[in-house]
Structure 1
């Protein structure tokens, strides 16, 4: 389902760390593409356990709303922890990851890579970024966390770093980080 997204996209939830299936309608017989781990989404509607979500690009789908991870209503406050002083290194890393992925896609389309080589070239690439005016949510794959930025600095927004209570596969649940540093 595609719906137009205005400039006011503001995530209300993130997809769980392992990703999740999605459906065109609240009907298990109508599957669509799965959602990537930690993808920021807006929860638009609930119908029992079903939740209709919208992504930053305007695409919407139905998911099992019980598994979405809620994010704070507002990004970390400006008077919160100091955070990373400079967002530019992570933006450069995101630009390089996107360039690497784009190059692999171009090689696949040109026939110079097959599916297995494409998988090898893209293995380990993780990129996530939502820009809404001066606000930005940026995924840091080295630290397994989402950061919020205002153009001047970044502050941890949500993380899936291992913590007490991690499941058997070694994945910790996504934890929200409040401005005072509590989880």
Structure 2
């Protein structure tokens, strides 16, 4: 095989992706087609610099890229998993335990309300389980992820990409996703976390 052949590492989001000439929201460029194969070249916080098969390179919101397996699955093999949801669940569990501990300290009078608020600042937790479907908030990358039981993939990003996710000014409040695009049976419960904001997916900011 040609060592210089284009080997994608990701594909664009199913709805296409906005692009930028630089890691700056004020410099939009031509959007990528849905599921377009790209190769990740560099990351800068939430931003990702990708190379397309025609040689064109651009900046995108790296949180929305869909990762490909390192090698194509063998014929007849089960679909490759892009991410294990158990790690995200462990992070949510740890954050929830921290919040529960803070509540217990407040209820026991060991801390006052101001101390409770200070210690809870920046703590963000989001988790919805509906049958086999899972939505979990990834606070490290400021995004919601969806899991169908087999793989965890980006569902929506809650804001514009940032060069430094832990920049000064504190983390932005999470914006829960709206109803998912996956079909749902009649009479099923709530489809997604409640919220009044439409999350950033693939359109221009």
Q: What TM-score range do you get, normalising by the shorter chain?
A: 0.3 to 0.5
Which one has a bigger Cα radius of gyration?
2
Q: TM-score, normalised by structure 2?
A: 0.41
